Amino acid sequence: MSEWLTRRLGLRLRVFLFFALLAGGGIAVLAAGLWLGYRRVPEAGVEAGFVLAGVVAGFGLLGLVAWIWYLFDENVARAIERLAGGLRVRAHADPGRALDQAQARYLGDLAPAAQAVTGTLSETRNALAEAVERETTRLAVENARLQALLADVPAGVLLCGADHQIVFYNGPAQEILAGEISAGLNRSLLDYLRAGPLRSAHARLLASEDGDAASDILCATVQSGEVLAGRMRLVRQGGEAPGYVLTLRDVTGDLALHAGREALLEEIIEKVRRPAANLQTVVDSGAAAGEGAAALLGEVRALTHAITDLAARYDAARGEWWPMEEIRAGELADSVVALAARDGITLTAEAAPLLLRCDAIQIVALLAHLTERLVTVIGARALSLFVAEDGDDGALITIGWFGDVLQVGLLDGWLSLPLEVGLSNVTGRSVLATHATEAWPEAGAASRALLRLPLRRAASGGNGAGGGRRSAVYDFDLMDRMPGGRLAETPLRDLTCVVFDTETTGLLPSSGDEIVQIAALRLRGGRRIPGEAFETLVNPGRPIPAAATEVHHITGAMVADAPAIAEAGRRFHAFAQGAVLVAHNAPFDLEFLRRHEAEIGARFDHPVLDTVLLSAVIFGESETHTLDALTERLGIVIPPEARHTAMGDAIATAAALERMIPMLEGRGLRSFGEVIAAVRRHSRLLRDANTPETLVPE
């Protein structure tokens, strides 16, 4: 019946009936009070009757007003607030579902009209998105190609603003700068490299009148002291202070190799010079035949021993001096198969997903040479090539065939022949010496003969299938950012944020509960920065209760070898340096961290945004503000297996922040200070986690 009345009665008629009910109820209450007072007159007199009538009418009117207020608040005020929140969500995000019209069923045609508007908006947004997607496909393809190209440039490439803030970096740059502080956008390059050479080179280029000038520099990393060779070139943009492009190459290993080679050569000269001088002295002295012969024999033995020892050390070190490259084992095997096919030889190949460190041209030429000799000289049949792991840092190349086992003398003869690699005097033996390895034949199973050749794996080649390549990361808007400025005046879209979450042994840090996992993501301009993430288990130094494990699935065995909070907290603090911390119920997570600031050696006095309070600003305090409720309102899906994991909840919180930033801007809250001022009006719901040092207006 009520639903039928709701559909049949117009909004104006409902408002009229609402006030008519209020008037009628007031008259009825007043009449009831007068009637009770009139009944009281014969017993207590007229005065007492009027007092009773007034009291009954007053309380009756008060109850009537409270009841009417409750109905109005529940069916009008809250309904409008929920409807406004739903409209705001759909204005700035697409949750993928229609408005809940039942929540505004007493507001007449307002809910259907709002649904029609949001439906039209969604259709328009989809049409616009399709048009934009069609127009930007080519640009996206070109961008992907550029990123792939820059990611594979062997040198580290960085683009920095005039204040040395990182705007762009590629994969090799990330590896060069890797340390306790991982490379990240909007971080100062001076946090990674010593400032003197960078500032001097930048100043020289600024003073130069040549717009295409470049400056070679030699600098060192702040933490590990590795030596880097680089080149800096300015990037001028209008009248603004120019930033620069910096290419870097780690020459620490090169310098060490050159120093080692020089030391070995000096030792060779010294060890050969003394015995040679002694031999000359013996010959010139004309000593007695017996004594002279004995002395001469001793010096010859010493010289022979020194030369043998130095030659062995030289051969072992040659592999470090020769320029090597990293190549996937599968690609090397495919190249050998292709060269063998050119000679009319059928060769099957199988390679483990390894990353090898070698001179690929020489090794491919050697393997093709040996394959050709096996077929033409000894008549090998059904040749196959396998590349497999050999220990922790090695790989073993095996050529197998049906036929006679290869004789060592014959193999030595083949290794003495020149190879077709474009260099003169390159033989199989010299290739093996360059790689500090050997090749040998042996008998295999099932009438198979084998030829073995071990090689080294690349240091990063634990999984050659992935290649270790990391895409280039950039935000060119940082080049236009004005340096300095107060945090309170910084627009939300200019903030660098670190969204984080923790998992703990319980809910009471004051009672000894501790962190067992920390995860975080970096955002810039309201968007996640690809590849900039932090995640670590933490040894809490106490047992993890079964009830806690049931929630986050972290056991004591999983954290047994994990770092303690002092190390994990220090690494997280370095990751979050210079950023605004964002969390869902931030006071809870920060209390665990701030209790250990003395052990960590750093203070967590970062500016803070709390998505619980941001939700209250947007949707009102009366709504539920749990992470599940917030993500459901925003149309964010959290996989069940990711819920109550630090990284899963951090990803969900980051997605919620991305969608709430335009909603806050839609309410006129565009700067950090304006948002904090709005947040502090909801302190009854949750206290603001910003410390007094966070200078924002009250």
DSSP result, 300-359 = HHHHHHHHHHHHHHHHHHHHHHS--EEEEHHHHHHHHHHHHHHTT--EEEEE-S-EEEE-
Please work out, in degrees rounded to the nearest 5, the angle formed at the alpha carbon of residue 520 by the alpha carbons of 518 and 526. 160
**β 243-250/227-235 pair status:** antiparallel
Query: Count of CB atoms within 10 A of residue 327's CB?
Result: 22
Give the H/E segment covering residue 269: helix 252-285
CB within 8 A of 244, min separation 6: which ones? 159, 160, 202, 205, 232, 233, 234, 235
Long-range CB contacts for residues 661-665, cutoff 8 Å, separation at least 24:
661/492, 661/493, 661/526, 662/92, 662/93, 662/526, 663/88, 663/89, 663/91, 663/92, 663/93, 663/618, 664/492, 664/614, 664/617, 664/618, 665/492
203 vs 199: CA distance, rounded Å: 6
CB within 8 A of 184, min separation 6: which ones? 166, 522, 529, 532, 575
Catalytic option among 92, 625, 644, 682: 644
665 vs 674: CA distance, rounded Å: 10
Nearest CA to 193 out of 162, 168, 225 is that of 225
Give the H/E segment covering residue 449: strand 448-456
Q: How many Å from the N-terminal Cα to the C-terminal Cα in the chain?
A: 51
- The one-letter amino acid at 147: Q
Helix (H, G, I), strand (E, B) or coil at 565: helix
**β 608-610/580-583 pair status:** parallel
Quote the tokens at residue 49.
Answer: 């009757």
Integer CA distances (angstroms), 360 to 254, 327, 426, 434, in order: 20, 7, 14, 12
Burial of 454 (0-12, 13-18, 19+ CB in 10 A): middle
Active-site annotation holds for 625: no
Integer CA distances (angstroms), 298 to 475, 478, 558, in order: 71, 73, 63
- The one-letter amino acid at 489: E
DSSP result, 286-298 = T--HHHHHHHHHH
Q: Taking every pair of C-alpha atoms in the chain, what is the biggest distance, in angstroms?
A: 160
DSSP result, 57-82 = HHHHHHHHHHHHHHHHIIIIIHHHHH
Give the H/E segment covering residue 674: helix 672-679
Integer CA distances (angstroms), 175 to 182, 528, 544, in order: 9, 20, 35
311 vs 516: CA distance, rounded Å: 54
Helix (H, G, I), strand (E, B) or coil at 472: coil
Nearest CA to 690 out of 616, 595, 582, 602 is that of 582
Give the residue numbers marked as catalytic: 644
